[in-house]
């Protein structure tokens, strides 16, 4: 209860609504009430938003008005909720204690999460044969804190993740290390990191930005179950970055034995460390699995994009709270 009051108190949620709302307005139904109802569904305490509303005492509006309000929730509100809640929980986590994977750096792992197709159809799509996806989100995850610290919701499920990640990179700062899969190996993404003073490790894709010059490869170094080597690459705009080649002894699940990573980290971080750090990128996949299995982050009964994204954001708020509870239990029983 204490962590919930710290993370998402009703007064603060309504304050966020007032500061970031664009066209919505509160009348009888407060935004904090909507978040509370959606949280009950995300936690699995209610099977649907309809059931949560029916069992809530003193709901000031009709069910039709509630669904209308939910389906109009603005994405900018969801981002403000997630970032603000994570900032409110950060001092508590640091008080409990946490170690840094790369001392002196804040890690940020970025990836997209697409909501599955739903049979709860929008009116305009009911005559179409295939079910439509209600949207997707690009998520920023801090593996040191085990917290989702930023979110970019997108109502168009078929929009480009590479474009949607740029507003998140606008908040990047010096001392942060951003890691991403090969989907994000584009010049605008890496340039945005460098402009913000942040560092990056991004896996190279087959259709990567064209190189102007490639330096010679340094001598290979053996690490656990692999060898690494690196070279300097130059791209359009005068960008000079490091490219690290990882040769694996055992192929990955995709059959890859060689992977390349681009980075602008200083030389104080070795090529072996860069390869080992990229392995941490998979921690965001585990987080997504926990969101889906432990929490109800994909509410099939919500077909409207804004409503489905609200359900996903509610699950993120719940995940961050549960992560703090888990850390608290670990600290309390560390000696035993």
Task: Please give the average per-residue pLDDT across 46-54, as a whole number.
Answer: 90
- The CB density around residue 94, as the number of other CB atoms within 10 Å, is 10
User: What is the full DSSP assignment across 127-176?
Assistant: TSSSPBP--EEEEEEETTTTEEEEEEEES-TTS-HHHHTHHHHTT--TTE
pLDDT tens-place string over residues 89-143? 999 998 988 889 999 999 999 999 988 776 554 555 555 555 667 889 999 999 9
Q: Which pLDDT does position 246 carry in this prediction?
A: 95
Q: What is the pLDDT of residue 142?
A: 96
Q: Per-residue pLDDT averaged across 229-252, rounded?
A: 93
Q: Are 142 and 108 a contacting pair, CB within 8 Å? A: yes
What angle do the packed helices 283-293 and 305-332 form, to 10 degrees?
110
The confidence band for 27, taking pLDDT boundaries of 50, 70 and 90, is confident
Q: What is the DSSP letter of 303?
A: -
Q: HSE of 296 in the Cβ direction (CA atoms, 13 Å)?
A: 18
What pLDDT shows up at residue 262? 96
User: pLDDT value at position 97?
Assistant: 84
Q: Per the confidence metrics, is the pTM higher than 0.85?
A: yes
The predicted-structure confidence for 60-97, as pLDDT tens digits, reads as follows 889 998 989 898 999 999 999 999 999 999 999 989 88
Range 150-159 average pLDDT: 92
pLDDT at 124: 59
Average pLDDT, the chain: 90
Nearest to 260 by CA among 221, 231, 219, 222: 231
pLDDT > 90? residue 255: no
Torsion sign (Cα): 97, 100, 106, 107: negative
């Amino acid at each position: 209860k204490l962590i919930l009051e710290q993370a998402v108190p009703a007064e603060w949620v309504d304050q966020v609504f007032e500061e970031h709302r664009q066209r919505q307005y509160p009348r009888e139904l407060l935004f904090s009430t909507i978040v509370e109802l959606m949280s009950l569904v995300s936690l699995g305490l209610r099977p649907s938003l309809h059931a949560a509303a029916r069992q809530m005492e003193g709901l000031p509006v009709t069910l039709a008005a509630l669904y209308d309000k939910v389906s109009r929730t603005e994405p900018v509100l969801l981002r403000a909720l997630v970032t603000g809640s994570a900032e409110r929980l950060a001092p508590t986590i640091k008080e409990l204690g946490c170690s840094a994977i790369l001392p002196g750096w804040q890690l940020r792992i970025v990836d997209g999460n697409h909501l599955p197709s739903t049979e709860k159809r929008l009116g305009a799509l009911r005559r179409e044969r295939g079910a439509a996806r209600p949207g997707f989100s690009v998520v920023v995850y801090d593996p040191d804190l085990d917290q989702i610290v930023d979110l970019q919701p997108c109502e168009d499920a078929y929009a480009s993740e590479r474009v949607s990640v740029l507003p998140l990179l606008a908040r990047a700062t010096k001392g942060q290390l951003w890691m991403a899969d090969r989907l994000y190996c584009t010049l605008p993404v890496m340039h945005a990191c460098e402009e913000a003073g942040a560092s990056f490790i991004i896996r190279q894709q087959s259709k990567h930005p064209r190189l102007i010059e490639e330096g010679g490869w340094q001598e290979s170094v053996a690490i656990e179950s692999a060898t690494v080597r690196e070279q300097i690459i130059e791209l359009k705009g005068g960008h000079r970055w490091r490219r690290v080649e990882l040769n694996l002894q055992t192929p990955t699940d995709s059959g890859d034995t060689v992977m390349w990573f681009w980075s602008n980290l200083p030389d104080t971080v070795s090529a072996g460390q860069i390869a080992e750090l990229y392995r941490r990128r998979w921690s965001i996949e585990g987080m997504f699995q926990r969101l889906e299995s432990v929490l109800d982050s994909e509410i099939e009964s919500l077909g409207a994009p804004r409503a489905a994204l609200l359900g996903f954001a509610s699950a993120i708020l719940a995940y961050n709270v549960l992560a703090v509870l888990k850390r608290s239990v670990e600290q309390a029983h560390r000696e035993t």
